[in-house]
Amino acid sequence: MKITLRTTPSEEGQVILDSLQKAVTQALERKRRLGQYAVVCRDGKPVMIGEDAPKEPENPVNLPTK
């Protein structure tokens, strides 16, 4: 079996990627305007962003990772 890895998406893949990025940007902007927090991934870990985001506990529970 031959596997080919592309560094750039196909034209159809790029259209899909652009659509997804636009949808996420709009959703995050809507949450910001409504004063809601969002959970995003930074450095491989979930982070809550926004003015009303719950504060991180001092002793967080370590959940098992896959």
> Would you kindly state where each structural domain of the chain is located, as residue ranges?
13-49
Report residue 61's pLDDT band, with 50, 70 and 90 as the boundaries: low
pLDDT in tens, 9-44: 899 999 999 999 999 999 999 999 999 999 999 999
Q: What per-residue confidence (pLDDT) applies to 63?
A: 66
Q: What mean pLDDT is predicted for residues 45-49? A: 91
Q: What per-residue confidence (pLDDT) applies to 65?
A: 67
Q: What per-residue confidence (pLDDT) applies to 50?
A: 87
**Under 8 Å CB-to-CB from 9, ≥6 apart: which residues?**
16, 17
